A and B are shown apart, each in its own frame.
Chain A
Amino acid sequence: GAVVSQHPSWVICKSGTSVKIECRSLDFQATTMFWYRQFPKQSLMLMATSNEGSKATYEQGVEKDKFLINHASLTLSTLTVTSAHPEDSSFYICSARTSGSLRYNEQFFGPGTRLTVL
């Protein structure tokens, strides 16, 4: 199956700093990428959807100025957590989907990035 990678796998930062997380589709072109956040003992929560070359669409309650998403190429999307605070500590997971002639388009998930803000 298709592979999605994330970098870094974990990061610890001080409060007030910005952190960038990269998501890459390694063997396919991802026309659409999704970012999810998962707090301990909870399910994944969709944060935003981005299409290559377009602005991301954020879910209700997700601050677009705090979580900057860039999807400049068909194989790379980045999520930047600006001015991170302890409450932003979470497990961030990206997902990628290609588009094609098939009606069913599978979403492939990355391994996740654990962010800890001190």
Chain B
Amino acid sequence: DAKTTQPNSMESNEEEPVHLPCNHSTISGTDYIHWYRQLPSQGPEYVIHGLTSNVNNRMASLAIAEDRKSSTLILHRATLRDAAVYYCIFNSGNTPLVFGKGTRLSVIA
């Protein structure tokens, strides 16, 4: 299994930035880093992915360490709708996504 390490839970105030860390020290050079999130009683939702360079999209930014052994998902302004479990996953292109325990993000109004 591709193992990642994330904090069990984090808390943020609404409209403030949130930095969700992930360690993936066993990542190989061809593995992608993915972030998904899951709201209660829903399927996972794609957030962002990257390989080596930092990435930005409308939902978030992904900062990847130079050695690729860690990454940080950045939500620039947390809203109540961002409260979810965030999963950091790495895999090669053709293997299925294997989920760890993720980080439960709480957003306080």
Cβ of A54 < 8 Å from any Cβ of B?
no
**Which single member of A95, A104, A105, A111 contacts B42 (CB below 8 Å)?**
A111
**B residues less than 8 Å from A49 (CB atoms):** 96
CA distance A49 to B39 in the complex (A): 24
Q: Is the CB of A112 within 8 A of B32?
A: no
Cβ of B93 < 8 Å from any Cβ of A?
yes
Nearest B residue (CB) for A102: B93
> Given that A43-B100, A43-B102, A46-B96 are contacting pairs, would A109 and B45 also be in contact in the complex, using a CB cutoff of 8 Å?
yes
CA distance A105 to B96 in the complex (A): 10
**B residues less than 8 Å from A112 (CB atoms):** 41-43
Size category, B interface: 20 to 34
Total count of chain A residues near the partner, CB < 8 A: 24
**A residues less than 8 Å from B42 (CB atoms):** 111-112
Cβ of A61 < 8 Å from any Cβ of B?
no
> Given that A104-B32, A104-B49 are contacting pairs, would A44 and B44 also be in contact in the complex, using a CB cutoff of 8 Å?
yes
Q: Is the CB of B46 within 8 A of A106?
A: yes
CA distance A6 to B41 in the complex (A): 13
Knowing that A4-B43, A43-B100, A107-B96 are A-B contacts, what are 20 other residue pairs whose CB atoms are under 8 Å apart, sorted by A's residue number? Answer: A1-B46, A36-B99, A43-B101, A44-B44, A44-B99, A45-B99, A46-B99, A93-B43, A93-B44, A95-B43, A95-B96, A104-B32, A104-B51, A105-B93, A105-B94, A106-B46, A106-B49, A109-B36, A111-B42, A112-B41
